[in-house]
Structure 1
Amino acid sequence: MSSKFFTRNISRNSAFWTKKLTIQSPMIAEHEALAREPIQGNLTMFAFDALADTRQLNEKKLHQIQVLAWGVELLQTYYNIGDDIEDNAKTRSGKPCWHQLPGVGLMAINDADLIRSFIYEMIRNNIEEPIAYTVQNYFNETYFALNIGQLMDISLTRSKDFTQFTMEQYDLLNYFKSAFYTVKLPILLALSLCNLHSKEAYTHVDKVCSDLGILLQMQNDVMDYVDSNSASIKTSSDIQNRKCCWPAVALLENCNDIQRKEFELCYGQSEPDKVERVRRLYKEIDIIKIYRQHEQRRYDAMMEQIKQLPVNSIPSKDFFIKILNVLRNYTEDISPTKS
């Protein structure tokens, strides 16, 4: 997907937006969206390819799925900008966060809102009704889910009660914060463009893909521990910010009393020696081994959910297995060199 896509579509917007968007949106897209691996955008394209009838594979439909794929990537850009401001993050994807750039600062909030508005403009100018109405509703539902997830994330971060750091709470947090936009939204958009969306299809996607989205977040959290300087993630700050991240929750479920006391004293502190002590605690309980075991249990559970789907379900069992296999290649790689 080329950044020229943005410039080409900006010219179709109303005069009110044209001047600002022509200057600002490509800059943000180049800095944020094009700096990371477009996992969600590629998943949108992959899902469409797997679902579409061959008669739908014309130039117009291919352009429309590109619009939706870029919409998903821009949604992540919108979310990342706000998330980085709230976490006071310094870098993402190996570059300074957008709000850290000279002359940007808290104007990044407006820039994020601009990106959100631009997503709507892209849909309005490239997708016809009634499909446009459906996909816009899915985007709106995703914004709502993200806001709930952010509220939960901030509340847990501010809490000093580590009894709330449970797998049940972690799953609920990331059902809203991660699962919807990382996996469910791309598939729901592809279903809509193929005119296959329905309440039943939505239920099947929600049932199978929520766990897969949570697993992707688990992998991201573990990468924060494996390589805090990886260019694929933002500056490691989960420990300092007292995040309800997967390694922290897993440690609290697998540590002894002495380790728990050390964790509670050090977690959420910014002093380098305390941060390092938490990382050593992760190593002591062999967090990578625990992750692998948890990962396998989740995949087994998802396969069981797929088996329980109706024979003629939409999406089909084969479709979900394809999605599972594509994303498993991603979640299995927790090496420091992943980019």
Structure 2
Amino acid sequence: MSTDKKAFLDVFPVLADEILGELRKHNMPQDAYDWVKNVSTRAGLVRFRIEPWVCFITTFPVVSTSLVVVHYFYTPFGDHLRITAPALLLTLSSSPRPTLAGKLNRGLSVVDTLRILRGDNITDEELFHARILGWTVEWVSSNCPLPRVLFFARETSSHAITRDPIQLQAFFLVADDIMDSSYTRRGQPCWFRKENVGMVAINDGIILESSVYIILKKYFKKTQYYVELLELYHEVTFQTELGQLLDLITAPEDNVDLSKFSPAKHQFIVIFKTAYYSFYLPVALAMLMAGVKNENAYSQARDILIPLGEYFQVQDDYLDCYGAPEVIGKIGTDIQDNKCSWLVNQALVRITPEQRKILDQHYGKKDSKAEAAVKQLYIDIDIESVYKAYEEKSYTEISAMIAKVDESTGVKKEVFTEYMNKIYKRTK
């Protein structure tokens, strides 16, 4: 293990002691104190594989333990939170590599961007805080690893903690599942479908959102950019909710109406639902940490990162249909799920009236034969060539914008080229 990574892991016991000290300040009952101490100790013994994201992922127990403290403080005898909140740390401590879902790209982007902006001047404290901000990004993202693992645990009648494939997405997706009356999300039962949860899931979603601001207050209240952090999170959260709204009313799974689809709607959904929080938010957070104050720097970043985010989501839509399941790690379901995908929107503006009948008849049907009919239609109109032309056009246009970045404003071209290099022609 490298010196840097060992030093990072060695910090954890100190932080755990500080958090336990906070419990004493609030005169927490001994059983609650012992519970958190046990969880913290076990989490501190976690050993990870030496991988690029190891330092980032080991920050999680610190942040999670902070939330456990808050949960105990407000509901020291509340079984619902008392069981589920510490369960994440128990899950982490029981395996050689954390079973967190996702690649953590959003969270790691905060760290990567700050490294580029600060260069050799970056301090260990700055890296630690960047990782914390990275976790808050993951919590508000639609592929949020925290809820997926946090609510892996369930309470049995004997109050024992056991692993169970219960999934809770980021806070603004919990309500979406309820409004859709969905049964599963990404192949797992929706959180509100769990026995004894029901509409309590709405409050769980709100708690997840509040947890972000608890962490921000704990670690960033004394920074000069604290207010800007809060404003940025509120702004991006609102933008994401707008994208979620349009997605919900445009493409409900149980009511297929392709007349509601259009390339313009798809673009709005993608930009507001994905691009702002997945691409702009991590970079803007790092820029705030780096002391970038020039508004033009943020405008330049937004003008590049939003198209990058749109391109990224179009890639996802394409890979859902054409990607190899063994490579992308899943079987695409956009056609059967009535998704307002880039592919179907491009097909709608290119097909003949007869082909439209085929699409209307088969799109959004939970049937493999219907899905195959739609895929054959895509082949007939050569949607792959349409995508490849879009990809090259996007790459050329975004690269041109990157080349024009004014680095005197405080932002660097390398931030954006790193993004582009990671996603251009990706296969998963």
Fold match (TM-score > 0.5) = yes
State the distance in 2 between where 1:229 and 1:19 align.
Answer: 45
Secondary structure of 1:52 counterpart: helix
- Long gaps (5+) in structure 1: 335-339
1:9 to 63, 66, 79: 66
Partner of 2:13: none
TM-aligned CA deviation for residue 45 of structure 1 = 1.4
Distance 1:270 1:95, change over 3 A: closer
1:284 to 373, 380, 386: 380
TM-aligned CA deviation for residue 182 of structure 1 = 0.7
- Long gaps (5+) in structure 2: 1-56, 93-97, 145-169
5 Å-filtered alignment, 1:126-141, equals 126-127=219-220, 128-141=222-235
The one of the two structures with greater contact order (alpha-carbon pairs below 8 A, sep at least 6) is 1
Secondary structure of 1:45 counterpart: helix
State the distance in 2 between where 1:66 and 1:203 align.
Answer: 24
State the distance in 2 between where 1:219 and 1:213 align.
Answer: 10
5 Å-filtered alignment, 1:126-205, equals 126-127=219-220, 128-157=222-251, 162=258, 164-205=260-301
Partner of 1:24: 84
Work out whether 1:319 is the aligned partner of 2:384.
no
Partner of 2:111: 45
TM-aligned CA deviation for residue 323 of structure 1 = 2.3
Q: Is the 8 A contact 2:63 2:215 kept in 1?
A: no
Distance 1:220 1:19, change over 3 A: farther
2:101 to 32, 35, 53: 35
Structure having the higher Rg = 2
State the distance in 2 between where 1:200 and 1:126 align.
Answer: 27
Q: Is the 8 A contact 1:131 1:192 kept in 2?
A: yes
Partner of 1:122: 215
Query: What are the Cα deviations for residues 82-127 of structure 1, in whole angstroms up to 9, with x where unaligned?
Result: 44555525243x6544445444444333222211111111111011
Query: What are the Cα deviations for residues 294-328 of structure 1, in whole angstroms up to 9, with x where unaligned?
Result: 12211111112222333534312233222221333
Deviates more, 1:253-262 or 1:119-128: 253-262
5 Å-filtered alignment, 1:215-254, equals 215-226=311-322, 236-254=332-350
The TM-score with structure 2 as length reference comes to 0.68
Q: Is the 8 A contact 2:115 2:122 kept in 1?
A: no
AA matched with 2:245:
L
TM-aligned CA deviation for residue 144 of structure 1 = 0.2
The TM-score with structure 1 as length reference comes to 0.84
AA matched with 2:214:
E
Q: Aligned-pair RMSD on alpha carbons?
A: 3.2
Distance 1:280 1:28, change over 3 A: farther
Partner of 2:136: 71
Q: Is the 8 A contact 1:99 1:106 kept in 2?
A: yes
Query: What are the Cα deviations for residues 172-196 of structure 1, in whole angstroms up to 9, with x where unaligned?
Result: 2211111001100000010111111
AA matched with 1:107:
V
State the distance in 2 between where 1:232 and 1:85 align.
Answer: 28
AA matched with 1:13:
V
State the distance in 1 between where 2:274 and 2:256 align.
Answer: 23
Partner of 1:337: none
Partner of 2:205: 112
